[in-house]
Amino acid sequence: VLAKYEPPVTTRIHASDGSLMAEYARERRLYLPIQAVPDRVKAAFLSAEDKNFYNHPGIDVTGLGRAII
């Protein structure tokens, strides 16, 4: 599913010399494939969001319990 994900991207208008004239979008995003994200950035994200990511089957019951309390 994620391999086929195509997020909305910014429309860029360039002049004939290649310089950027304007950008239009509801959201300002740049698509970056996961392979282009450095391993340290992935590790930092997992550390901040779900340190037990590789140790549970998809739901961190302990983390869920902490969130409920």
26-36 tens-digit pLDDT: 777 777 888 99
Distance CA 43, CA 46 (A): 5
Tokens 């970056």 map to which residue? 32
Predicted confidence (pLDDT) at residue 57 exceeds the cutoff of 70? yes
Predicted model pTM: 0.46
Distance CA 47, CA 54 (A): 11
Predicted confidence (pLDDT) at residue 24 exceeds the cutoff of 90? no
The structure tokens listed for 13 are 């208008």
The amino acid that residue 9 corresponds to is: V
Name the CA radius of gyration of the chain, rounded.
19
Residues 6+ apart with CB under 8 A from 68: none
What are the residue boundaries of the structural domains of the chain, listed by start? 2-68
